[in-house]
Amino acid sequence: MTTVTAIRFADPREAPALGAFLTRLLRYDKAAAVRLQTANGALAVFGRLPLGESGPLVVRTVPLETQAEAQSALDTTVSAGQLLDGIGDDTGDAADLVLPPSVTGPSWAGLLPPRTSWEHVADLDAALLDAAVQAAITEFRQEGADPDALAESIWSRQVHPSGLTMRAVHAAHLVGLLRQSRTVALYRHPAWLRITAPRGAVIVRRAPALGAGLGLSPTR
């Protein structure tokens, strides 16, 4: 297998968008690592937000210049900080990104969700989801109860009968997923749930569906 040392974006404007994604990850985990995979003409950058014991996986996808580059079969784990440093180096071509050396990744990076066999559940209004997150954040800040217990109570609330929780929606808010389009698609797999937008996704382990929670309705 050819060792991939650099990648070329289809559009140089993708570089700052990826940089913003990595910056958000590093805000919550200064030692964050990301797993990089190429498939179907795009680079997928997987990260994890430390929101609870099994924090949501977050994914940013970046189109590559040619299908041939995606077929180089890149699959490696690197430091998010070093990857961000490479994006911030304006001495080279903004469309090119030299990859940092591989690192020993965290446990989550070794067990990514499957690529196939996902079932579409609904299309959800991104603005309603974002408003629900903002209300939850306000509630957390205003309450005077034990912060850890309150946080778990708020973020574990189900917002859809599929078992989707506020924690997953919060993650989508934090990485800018809810600002990419008017709706986001909800998919399920026997062991996973996924919120998908044009340039990324949030993926979480499925929880038992106990009710509709906040009762957010799919768009028509």
Per the prediction, the chain carries an average pLDDT of: 86
| CATH code for the part of the protein at 6-110 | 3.10.150
Check if the beta carbon of residue 192 is closer than 8 Å to that of residue 143: no
pLDDT confidence of residue 1: 45
Check if the beta carbon of residue 22 is closer than 8 Å to that of residue 80: yes
* pLDDT tens-place string over residues 176-220: 999 999 999 999 999 999 999 999 999 999 865 544 455 554 554
* pLDDT tens-place string over residues 3-45: 778 888 988 888 999 999 999 999 999 999 999 999 888 999 9
d(CA 29, CA 12): 27
Q: How many C-beta neighbours within 10 Å does residue 25 have? A: 25
Q: Which residues contact residue 185 at a Cβ distance below 8 angstroms, ignoring those fewer than 6 apart?
A: 120, 122, 123, 124, 195, 196, 197
pLDDT confidence of residue 101: 95
Across residues 112-120, what is the average pLDDT? 94
* pLDDT tens-place string over residues 63-83: 998 754 545 679 999 999 999
* Range(s) within the chain of domains with CATH label 3.10.150: 6-110
pLDDT confidence of residue 207: 65
pLDDT confidence of residue 70: 45
pTM: 0.87
Bridge-based pairing state of the strands 33-39 and 57-63: unpaired
d(CA 30, CA 66): 33
Q: Which residues contact residue 70 at a Cβ distance below 8 angstroms, ignoring those fewer than 6 apart?
A: 38, 39, 40, 41, 42, 43, 64
pLDDT confidence of residue 94: 54
pLDDT confidence of residue 93: 54
pLDDT confidence of residue 145: 62
Please report, for residues 60, 96, 116, 165, 183, the alpha-carbon distance to residue 55 in angstroms, rounded to integers and kept in the order given: 16, 31, 22, 12, 23
